[in-house]
Chains A and B, each alone.
Chain A
Amino acid sequence: MKTDKHILGTPMQSSLLALVSWQNLAYILMLFGAVALAVTGLGTLVFGKVSMSGWVLMLHASAAPAFAIGLALVALTWAGHSCAGAEDSLPDRAASLLFWLILASGLVVILSGVAPMTPLCGTNGQRTMVSVHYYGALLLTIAVALHVFSLVAAKRRGIGV
C-alpha cells in the first residue's frame, strides 16, 4: 500500500479535508454498505434461516446500491495506489492483495445478487447464483475486515495510510 496519500487521515493531514476526500468517502460508503449487507446477510444465516425475507431483505436490498456504488468508486480511486511493488513491505503487499480480492469478490457478489432478478437464469442457475452469492459474500466480508484491520494497523504504525 502506498503511503504518499491521505487515505483515512495521515498524521499530518488528519483534517476534515482529508477525511472527505474522494477516496475516503468512497471507502466509507463501501464500508457502510458492506457492514449492512453482512449484518443482514450473515445474520440471517447465524439465526438459522435459510433465506432472507421481510424487513431484513428490504434492508439488505437497500444497502446493496450503497455498497455497489461505493465499491465502484473505491475501484476508481484506490486502484492506482494499490499496486504492490517488489520493494513494498509485507503488510503493504497483503493490503494490496486484499484490495484486489475485495474488488474481485465484490464483483462476483454484485453480479450473483442482481442476476437472479433478471430473466438470465432459470431455477438451477439461480440456485447456483445464490450459492455463489453466499460464498462470495463470506469471502468479501473476510477480505473487507482484514483490509480495514490492515489500514488501522498501518495507521497505528504511523505509516499514514
Chain B
Amino acid sequence: MKAETFGVKIRVPVQNDSTSWRKKASCAVVLALMLAFAPSGTAAENLKTESRMPFLHHIPLRDAEGRMISLPPLFDAQGKPQDAAANPYSPAQTCGKCHEYDIIGRGWHFNSAKDDIKPGRPGEPWILTDPVTRTQIPLSYRGWAGTFKPAEIGMNDFDFVTTFARHLPGGGVGEPPKDKIDANDVRMRRFLVTGAMEIDCLICHDSSGHYDHDSRFRAMGMENIRWAPSIAAGLGTLGFAKSGKAAADQWRPPDPVPANPPLLKYDRARQGMENHTTFNVARQRLASSCYYCHTAESRTGDARWHSDNDVHIRAGMSCVDCHRNSVDHMVVRGYEGELGNRAVNAGMVEWRAKLIRRNDAAVSEADAKRLAEQQAKDEMGMVETLTCRGCHYGSGCGKSAAVRMGGRLGAPEPVHKGLPPIHLEKLSCTACHSGPFPGEAAGAVHTSLAHKLGLPAPARTDNTPPVIVQPVFLRGQDGRIAPHRMVWPAYWGHLNQGKVTPLLPAEVSKLARAKFPMLTSADMMRDPYNSKPLTGEQITGVLGALAGDAAKGQPVFVAAGKLYRLDNGKLVSEEHETAKPYAWPLAHDVRPASQSLGVRSCADCHSTDSPIYFGTVTARVPVEAGNAVTKQMWALRGDNKTLAATFAFTFRFRPMLKYVSFGSAFVILAVLLAFGLAGLYSLLNNRDPHKQKKA
C-alpha cells in the first residue's frame, strides 16, 4: 500500500530557475553513472547490493505524494534568506521506493488488526492507564483472551493511535484506507488532517543513535502525525506552526480538508548534494533500538547498575540474532510451537511470487508461485531453530543440516547434570533461566509499553500504575510451566446480564470527577502517578455517581481481582470472572546457567516454601491492600496443593533414598562379584564349587 494523502493538497516548493548549471551538470553525471552501471532495463529500486556490508543510504526524500523533496535555495532571487521549508518526508514513499512497504506492513509489529494473522501466544498488551480514575485496561487488536479490543470499550483507531503513539511504530490501524474513514466520525476523520501514521522505519533501523523518540512523542501529542517521522529523525522542526491537532479541531466538514498543512523547516545541514539525505541505517538493529519498546525493568528506582541484563546481550549478541525476519517483517517471536501460528498463507505466497518476478521477469507466474510456496515452507522450518531449544539442542526442522543440529551462533548444548529429563517436558526453558530469580512474592516490573520507559518522566515506583508483577509461574499454551508477567484489569463499568462493559476514563471523569480524591500540589510532588489506592467510601461515592442510567446496568468497579458493586447502598465485593488477571509469558532477561533455578539444589523448587509453588502473587492497587486478591502460584495454575506440598515434603527424604539405593546396590554388587568370581574360578579350574561345599 502506498501512503495515502487523503486528498490533502501538498505544496511542493518548485526549484528556482536560478539553479546553478553545476547542479544540473552533476545530476547528469550521476544519472549517466547509474545508467552505466545498472543492468539494462533494471529500475533503480530493483537494484541490490548482495553484500553483507550495509548500503550507505544517501537518498532523496519523498513526500506523501511520492514527489522528491527539493529545498528552496538559501537565498531567493532578491538575495533574501529563505527558510528550508518543504513538506515532511514520507517513510512509505522514501523507503518504500526500494523496499516493499506493503509487504513490510504485514509484519508482526504492524499486523495486529489484520484478520488473516493468527494471534499466536499471548503477548504484552497495550494498557490504557488513567491514574485519576485508577483505570488500567489491557488492550489488543489480536483478541488474546483477557484483553479487550479497543472497539469493545468504545475506543476508535484514531484514539488508540494517538494514545499509544509514543511506542507505536506506525502502520496497521494508523494507516486506515481513505475510503474507510467516515467523515461523520468526529475522531476518525482527524486522520484526514493529521495524516496517516505511516510505518516509521527509522524507529528500528536508525543506527546513528540520533533518532529522537522524545521529539516524536511530543509531535504525536500535538497530533502532528504526518510530521513526526521527520522531526524524530532530526530532519527539521515545525517551529511555531499550527499543530495538526489545532488544524483538526478547526476543521468542520463539509468544509474541505485543510489544503495547506504547515511545512517542515528542514535542517539544511542534513541535506547533502542533490537534495540527498544520508541515513545511517542498518538491517541488523542494535539491542538499544529494541529496548526503546521492549525494556522490562524489575529493579525499580536507580539500581540499574545491579543488573547484568540478558546473558545473550552480554555475550555480544543482539535481539535480532534470534528474533529474525525476512522482508515480510514477520519477526520470529521465538517460542516453541510458533510454527503452528505461522502457517504459509496465500498472502505470503503472493508477495514472495511478486518479489521473484520482480527480480526475474522471465519466471512465469505459476512457477513464481510454486517457488514462493517452497521458499515460505523452507523459511517456516527455520522458525523452530530459533527457539531456546532449537538453538541449544537443535531442531528437527530447518532446511539445512547445520540448523537442525543446533549450536546456532555458537550456542552451547546444555548439560543439565542431575536434572531428570522430565523437567524438560514439564517446564519451559524460561522457567529456570529467565526473569528475575523468584522470591517469596512476585515483584513489580516496569515495561516500556506500559510505563512509557524511554521517555523522561518522574521516577517510577513499584506502585506506579499499571502495576505488573513477575515472575508468575503459570502453564503456557503448551502445558509447560513458564514465568509470566501479570496485570489485573481495573476499570469502572456497567454490569448487565452478567457481562461488564467498561467505561472509558473520560466518561468516568465526566460523571464522577468530584468523587475521586483531589490531589494537592504537595501530593503531586510526592506521588506524581497518583498511586494511592481508593478507599471503600471513595469507591462507593463513584459507584453512586455512575448509577444515573439504570438501562446500562449496575455500576461496578473491577479492580485487584474483585468486582465491587453497591448492594442496597452498601459496598460489596466478590471475585469475578471479569476481574481475572491477564498474563503473558516472559522470556528475558535470560540468566546464566550458574544463576538458574535449581542450580543450588532440588529444593529451589521442591520445598514447602519454594516460589514456583508457594510464592504469592498479590493484585496491588488501586484498592487498599487488605481488599486485594492474593494467591499462591499453585492456585493460579490450578494445581493440587496437597500434592505439591506432599511432593515437596518427600524431598526431605531424598538424600535417604539415595543412600539406601546406593548402599543396597553396593551390597548386591558385592554379592554378584563374590559369587560371580567364585563361579568363574571354579569354571576355569573345572570344579563345581557346590560339590566341593557338599563334600
For the complex formed, measure the closest distance between the CB of A139 and the CB atoms of chain B, giving whole angstroms: 15
> Which of A71, A116, A122 interacts with B415 by CB under 8 Å?
A122
With contact pairs A54-B647, A86-B688 given, residues A68 and B660 touching in the complex (Cβ less than 8 Å): yes
A83 and B671 contacting across the interface, CB-CB below 8 Å: no
**B-side contacts of A50, CB under 8 Å:** 425
Q: Which residue of A lies closest to B656 (CB)?
A: A65
Q: Which residue of A lies closest to B661 (CB)?
A: A114
- Secondary structure at the A interface, as helix, strand, loop or mixed, is helix
**A-side contacts of B688, CB under 8 Å:** 85-86
Q: For the complex, what is the distance from the CA of A52 to the CA of B420, rounded to whole Å?
A: 12
B417 and A119 contacting across the interface, CB-CB below 8 Å: yes
Tell me, yes or no, whether B477 is within 8 Å of chain A by CB: no
Which segment, of A10-18, A103-111, A153-161, faces chain B?
A103-111
With contact pairs A53-B422, A64-B657, A83-B679 given, residues A76 and B667 touching in the complex (Cβ less than 8 Å): yes
Q: Which residue of B lies closest to A122 (CB)?
A: B415
C-beta contact mask, A107-141 vs B, less than 8 Å → 1, else 0?
A: 10011011011111111001100100000000000
**B-side contacts of A62, CB under 8 Å:** 650
**A-side contacts of B154, CB under 8 Å:** none
C-beta contact mask, A47-77 vs B, less than 8 Å → 1, else 0?
A: 0001111110110011011001101100110
> Which of A61, A75, A120 interacts with B650 by CB under 8 Å?
A61
Tell me, yes or no, whether A79 is within 8 Å of chain B by CB: yes
**B-side contacts of A107, CB under 8 Å:** 665, 668-669, 672
**A-side contacts of B669, CB under 8 Å:** 107
For the complex formed, measure the closest distance between the CB of A142 and the CB atoms of chain B, giving whole angstroms: 18
With contact pairs A58-B646, A75-B668, A107-B669 given, residues A114 and B417 touching in the complex (Cβ less than 8 Å): no
Q: Which residue of A lies closest to B675 (CB)?
A: A79
B421 and A126 contacting across the interface, CB-CB below 8 Å: yes
Q: Which residue of B lies closest to A65 (CB)?
A: B660
**A-side contacts of B679, CB under 8 Å:** 83
Tell me, yes or no, whether B416 is within 8 Å of chain A by CB: yes
A114 and B658 contacting across the interface, CB-CB below 8 Å: yes
Tell me, yes or no, whether A84 is within 8 Å of chain B by CB: yes
C-beta contact mask, A76-92 vs B, less than 8 Å → 1, else 0?
A: 10010001111000000
**B-side contacts of A84, CB under 8 Å:** 690
Interface residue ranges of A16-66 to B (CB < 8 Å): 50-55, 57-58, 61-62, 64-65
C-beta contact mask, B409-424 vs A, less than 8 Å → 1, else 0?
A: 0000011111111101
Q: For the complex, what is the distance from the CA of A11 to the CA of B353, rounded to whole Å?
A: 88
Q: For the complex, what is the distance from the CA of A149 to the CA of B646, rounded to whole Å?
A: 37
- Secondary structure at the B interface, as helix, strand, loop or mixed, is helix
Q: For the complex, what is the distance from the CA of A27 to the CA of B625, rounded to whole Å?
A: 60
For the complex formed, measure the closest distance between the CB of B562 and the CB atoms of chain A, giving whole angstroms: 32
**B-side contacts of A130, CB under 8 Å:** 420-421
**A-side contacts of B671, CB under 8 Å:** 75-76, 79, 103
**A-side contacts of B425, CB under 8 Å:** 50-51
Q: For the complex, what is the distance from the CA of A120 to the CA of B658, rounded to whole Å?
A: 13
Tell me, yes or no, whether B53 is within 8 Å of chain A by CB: no
**For chains A and B in complex, what number of residue pairs have CB atoms within 8 angstroms?**
114
> Which of B418, B668, B674, B675 interacts with A119 by CB under 8 Å?
B418
A126 and B420 contacting across the interface, CB-CB below 8 Å: yes
Q: For the complex, what is the distance from the CA of A93 to the CA of B201, rounded to whole Å?
A: 83
Tell me, yes or no, whether B536 is within 8 Å of chain A by CB: no
B668 and A110 contacting across the interface, CB-CB below 8 Å: yes
For the complex formed, measure the closest distance between the CB of B503 and the CB atoms of chain A, giving whole angstroms: 45
**B-side contacts of A75, CB under 8 Å:** 667-668, 671-672
With contact pairs A75-B667, A107-B665 given, residues A117 and B658 touching in the complex (Cβ less than 8 Å): yes
C-beta contact mask, B640-673 vs A, less than 8 Å → 1, else 0?
A: 1001001100100010111011111101110110
A54 and B668 contacting across the interface, CB-CB below 8 Å: no
Q: For the complex, what is the distance from the CA of A61 to the CA of B414, rounded to whole Å?
A: 27
A64 and B661 contacting across the interface, CB-CB below 8 Å: yes
B416 and A122 contacting across the interface, CB-CB below 8 Å: yes
For the complex formed, measure the closest distance between the CB of B268 and the CB atoms of chain A, giving whole angstroms: 62
**A-side contacts of B417, CB under 8 Å:** 119-122
Q: For the complex, what is the distance from the CA of A57 to the CA of B336, rounded to whole Å?
A: 27
C-beta contact mask, B684-695 vs A, less than 8 Å → 1, else 0?
A: 000011110010
For the complex formed, measure the closest distance between the CB of B527 and the CB atoms of chain A, giving whole angstroms: 47
For the complex formed, measure the closest distance between the CB of B463 and the CB atoms of chain A, giving whole angstroms: 39
B689 and A83 contacting across the interface, CB-CB below 8 Å: yes
Tell me, yes or no, whether B426 is within 8 Å of chain A by CB: yes
B661 and A113 contacting across the interface, CB-CB below 8 Å: yes
For the complex formed, measure the closest distance between the CB of B627 and the CB atoms of chain A, giving whole angstroms: 35
A123 and B661 contacting across the interface, CB-CB below 8 Å: no
B657 and A114 contacting across the interface, CB-CB below 8 Å: yes
C-beta contact mask, B42-66 vs A, less than 8 Å → 1, else 0?
A: 0000000000000000000000000
**B-side contacts of A127, CB under 8 Å:** 421
For the complex formed, measure the closest distance between the CB of B391 and the CB atoms of chain A, giving whole angstroms: 15
A69 and B421 contacting across the interface, CB-CB below 8 Å: no
With contact pairs A65-B661, A123-B421 given, residues A72 and B668 touching in the complex (Cβ less than 8 Å): yes
B424 and A61 contacting across the interface, CB-CB below 8 Å: no
B421 and A103 contacting across the interface, CB-CB below 8 Å: no
With contact pairs A53-B426, A75-B667 given, residues A69 and B660 touching in the complex (Cβ less than 8 Å): yes
A85 and B419 contacting across the interface, CB-CB below 8 Å: no
Q: Which residue of A lies closest to B643 (CB)?
A: A54
Q: For the complex, what is the distance from the CA of A130 to the CA of B419, rounded to whole Å?
A: 12
Q: Which residue of A lies closest to B672 (CB)?
A: A103
Q: Which residue of B lies closest to A83 (CB)?
A: B690
> Which of B414, B658, B667, B674 interacts with A118 by CB under 8 Å?
B658
> Which of A55, A69, A103, A120 interacts with B418 by CB under 8 Å?
A120
Q: Which residue of B lies closest to A111 (CB)?
A: B665
For the complex formed, measure the closest distance between the CB of A46 and the CB atoms of chain B, giving whole angstroms: 18
**B-side contacts of A61, CB under 8 Å:** 650, 657
**B-side contacts of A122, CB under 8 Å:** 414-417
A58 and B661 contacting across the interface, CB-CB below 8 Å: no
**B-side contacts of A76, CB under 8 Å:** 667, 671
> Which of B416, B640, B647, B664 interacts with A58 by CB under 8 Å?
B647
Q: For the complex, what is the distance from the CA of A59 to the CA of B266, rounded to whole Å?
A: 76
Give me the 5 closest cross-chain CB pairs, A-B, nearest first.
A68-B664, A119-B418, A85-B690, A122-B415, A72-B664
Given A83-B690, A107-B672, 15 more A-B residue pairs with CB atoms under 8 Å apart are: A64-B661, A65-B657, A68-B660, A69-B660, A71-B664, A72-B668, A84-B690, A85-B688, A85-B691, A86-B691, A107-B669, A120-B418, A123-B416, A126-B416, A130-B420
Write the residues of chain A forming the contact surface with B, with a CB cutoff of 8 angstroms. Answer: 50-55, 57-58, 61-62, 64-65, 68-69, 71-72, 75-76, 79, 83-86, 100, 103-104, 106-107, 110-111, 113-114, 116-123, 126-127, 130
Listed by A's residue number, 7 A-B pairs whose Cβ atoms lie within 8 Å are: A53-B422, A54-B640, A72-B667, A100-B675, A103-B672, A117-B418, A123-B419
Write the residues of chain B forming the contact surface with A, with a CB cutoff of 8 angstroms. Answer: 414-422, 424-426, 640, 643, 646-647, 650, 654, 656-658, 660-665, 667-669, 671-672, 674-675, 679, 688-691, 694
